[in-house]
Structure 1
Amino acid sequence: MEAAERTKTEPSNATHLCVLVHGLWGNPDHLAYIADALRDKYHEDQLHILIAKSNSGNFTYDGIETGAERVTQEIEETIAKLERDGSKIKKISMLGYSLGGLVARYSIGLLHSNGWLDRLEPINFTTFASPHLGVRTPILGYQSHLWNLFGSRTLSMSGKQLFGDDTFRDTGRPILCVLADPSSIFMQALSRFKHRTLYANIINDRSAPYYTTFITKIDPYINLDSININYVKGYAPNIIDPANPVSLKPEAPPPTVLGQIAGTGQNLLNNAPFYAAMSLLLPLGTTAYLVNAGIQSVRSQNRIKLHESGQAGVGLGNYRIPLMIENARSAVEGTFGSMNSSNLEYHAAGTGATSESFSDVHDEKMILNERSSSTDLVCTPSSAQPKFPALNLSPDQFEMIENLDKAGFKKYAVHIQNVRHTHAAIVVRMKQRRFDEGKLVIKHWLDEEFEI
């Protein structure tokens, strides 16, 4: 029977619920293309779709924990309503975009703790451009210091958590470290899902760069002119082959002095309109941003207080549960302390240098071995790949990478080339022609990774 002919009281036969969680400053419309693509492929008698709406707009300032508790309640209320209407939910999938991926990781921990993952079969857990390691820039220098300081203080609780400047509850650790702790309810929940997949932009993602969305120590795509990229058959030139992502180009002879001068002059000429516009717009935009950030941070803190006091309509008694499965483990074991304004230097694997080389870790069959120093790590891949220097990540981030890699994510690097706003394009955040490359990314997910 077609949907148009079904009476309002007749239940759907679908047993699978797929939950979509948008990102920072987002709203359900940002995931409308994915919802439509799911609906085009699966009839409403095959799949229920919930686009979470409880964190819309500036509510995303309120932090991962608060957002996840809202989303979890929304999921539970949706399941209850579907079952009242006669639908029997047996499977669940979660998709998180940007910050929504972190909210989703927290939410599945709450669902697991409340017994939902015993009642429902966890099928697909997917993130698109989600900053699993936070968003601190790994680049050294005063500009990076200012960026990290600035960013963590202008997005209320979410900013502190994304920049690792928070201390989560009584753990003494940033929330991102707790989310990646193998003994936490969050990692236990993640391991229950049949498919764990992530998609990450390799370039031009100004919101969530490659290293954090791909969960990696290296970035082989910093200089695209030095490499050849290999794509998945049928999904070129957007989905990079995880088994054989890149090869090095032969080293080109250095340009002559005259060639360098000519190239620099041409670049300045080509970019002159951009620099002129930025010189006018950047001061105005920064001022407006700071004013708005201050207003929204105050409002966010007020919402968080209402949430914590139980006056925001969320039943906290269902969600303020023990975070760790292994109670004997110390809450601060393995932590290196919260990052703060006095500790912004990142050192590769604790060595204080960036000279260590790591093989390309697109292949998730990576082995971590101890060397002469217990703080030095070397990656031994299952197949030979070009080597690239390790990024200057923090010790916390190296630990998160190791823990999350053990969870077994299937990772896809995405090469969007026709638009600079790749963070929006990867999920076709707006139905505009300039974001069409993202449609191939979503098609790959639906055809190759999503299981009904």
Structure 2
Amino acid sequence: MASLEPKTKPTTADSNMKRRKKRRYISRIGCFGSNPNPKSLEIRDGDRSLEMEANNGGDHPSPTHLVVFVNGIIGSAANWRFAAKQFVKRFPEDVIAHCSECNSGTLTFDGVDVMGERLAEEVISVIEHRPQLQKISFVGHSLGGLVARYAIGRLYGKKITKESSEENGDCRSFEYENQCLDEKPKGKVAGLEPMNFITVATPHLGSRGHKQLPILCGFQVLEKVASRTSWIIGRTGKHLFLNDSDEGKLPLLLQMVNDCEDLRFMSALQAFKRHVAYANAHFDHIVGWKTSSIRHQHELPKRQLLKKHDKYPHIVNVEPPKTTSVKQEVPLKANVKTIDMEDEMIRGLNKVGWERVDVSFRRSKQRFFAHSTIQVYEKRNGFSV
């Protein structure tokens, strides 16, 4: 992208016009990242902006690692403002932090698939305008983790055209070859090298029964009522409560633990070098510990054995990644009543090695808002560029 800085000394009116054009451009692609000046990085939130100077001077190449932040239900890009700022501060020369803007407010009721399609298109739009990008990572909070998992299935092997401005102002295109579905995976997501896939309090196993919605206190009657009234939050509710067995197919979340038709959900997830699942061990009333950490009940650490991390006091347990072999996949058309959906989702997702990070805010003043608090605090731990 050509520099937006003027070559000649502008008038006040020209400066204002260029500033408005620049803001419109950044707003259109919804990007929290670097501006054309390599010495500074800009984070935007609507009409508010904050520019941070890089600590080290001199000319530096443009950041090559795109980190996509995805908000949860009824959320917005503003939810990730603080975390995005911390990422840019920590990796000022390496990272472009993009807070997704395409799914906010009541748009989050449209369903995981619709939201995932929107996110995929938004990511493509960002990449098309940044030819220097080489790597990509995703960080999703709550429902945003599921949306990101859907989007990478759509972006896996996707043909991307990237525009680069030459010195004379002309543009040329860079294209990545599309991968045939019959070929072995080449490991690209949106034409970039997949690095980190991080979820924070994400209901990977859905919210149906099994104490997955802690606010219902495990009462089966309340869980059944919640499942039957899931339509209140639209198609998203159907997906979360696994009530979307359309045309004899399995619920979407169950489909997403396999490669499904032209959507390579697991191939895309496996392509990432690192997978991390942050989960609240206490006080998360929205998303249960099991579903956010992708475990069976008996696999959860004993609460009395949880201990404070030396460097990060809210982290109480870290499990290194391990994978399990899955010999047989669930067919796309099956009798839902004859399979244990929770078990199948756990088995499917464990095809990749998840680093599980258990968090507790039980001694914090913000413990009753743990579901949102974890989004702010835990992004500092172990992110790799």
Q: 1:182, 1:403 within 8 Å by CA — same for their partners in 2? A: no
Structure 1 residues 14-413: aligned runs within 5 Å: 14-43=63-92, 45-83=93-131, 88-115=132-159, 117=188, 119-138=191-210, 139=218, 141-150=220-229, 152-167=230-245, 172-181=249-258, 185-218=264-297, 224=303, 227-242=304-319, 330-332=331-333, 335-337=334-336, 395-413=340-358
Secondary structure in 2 matching 1:176 = helix
Superposition deviation, residue 144 in structure 1: 2.3
Q: 1:172, 1:331 within 8 Å by CA — same for their partners in 2? A: yes
Identity %, equivalent residues: 28
Secondary structure in 2 matching 1:23 = coil
CA distance in 1, matches of 2:155, 2:314: 38
Secondary structure in 1 matching 2:156 = helix
Q: 2:315, 2:357 within 8 Å by CA — same for their partners in 1? A: no
Structure with greater strand percent: 2
**1:422 to 2:370 alignment:** yes
Superposition deviation, residue 12 in structure 1: 5.7
Code of the residue aligned with 2:372 in structure 1: it is A
Q: Which has the larger radius of gyration?
A: 1
Superposition deviation, residue 409 in structure 1: 1.2
Superposition deviation, residue 73 in structure 1: 0.7
Superposition deviation, residue 140 in structure 1: 5.6
CA distance in 2, matches of 1:221, 1:230: 14
Please give the per-residue CA displacement for 1:334-388, whole angstroms capped at 9, x wherever unaligned. x4427xxxxxxxxxxx8xxxxxxxxxxxxxxxxxxxxxxxxxxxxxxxxxxxxxx
Number of equivalent positions: 285
TM-score by length of structure 2 reads 0.68
Secondary structure in 2 matching 1:420 = helix
TM-score by length of structure 1 reads 0.58
Structure 2 unmatched runs, 5+: 1-37, 42-52, 161-187, 211-217, 321-328
Superposition deviation, residue 403 in structure 1: 1.0
Runs of 4+ in 1 over 4 A off after TM superposition: 219-224
CA distance in 1, matches of 2:373, 2:69: 17
Secondary structure in 2 matching 1:216 = coil
Q: 2:318, 2:355 within 8 Å by CA — same for their partners in 1? A: no
CA distance in 1, matches of 2:302, 2:74: 31
What RMSD in Å do the two structures reach over aligned CA positions?
2.7
Q: 1:336, 1:395 within 8 Å by CA — same for their partners in 2? A: no
Structure with greater helix percent: 1
Q: Taking CA–CA contacts closer than 8 Å with sequence separation of 6 or more, which of the two structures ends up with the larger relative contact order?
A: 1
2:39 aligned partner: 2
Structure 1 residues 432-443: aligned runs within 5 Å: 438=377, 441-443=378-380
Superposition deviation, residue 68 in structure 1: 0.9
Code of the residue aligned with 1:124 in structure 2: it is N
Secondary structure in 1 matching 2:66 = strand
Secondary structure in 2 matching 1:82 = coil
Superposition deviation, residue 213 in structure 1: 0.4
Secondary structure in 2 matching 1:240 = strand
CA distance in 1, matches of 2:253, 2:137: 22
Q: Structure 1 residues 72 and 220 mapped into 2: Cα distance closer, same or farther (>3 Å)?
A: closer
Structure 1 unmatched runs, 5+: 244-327, 339-349, 351-393, 429-437
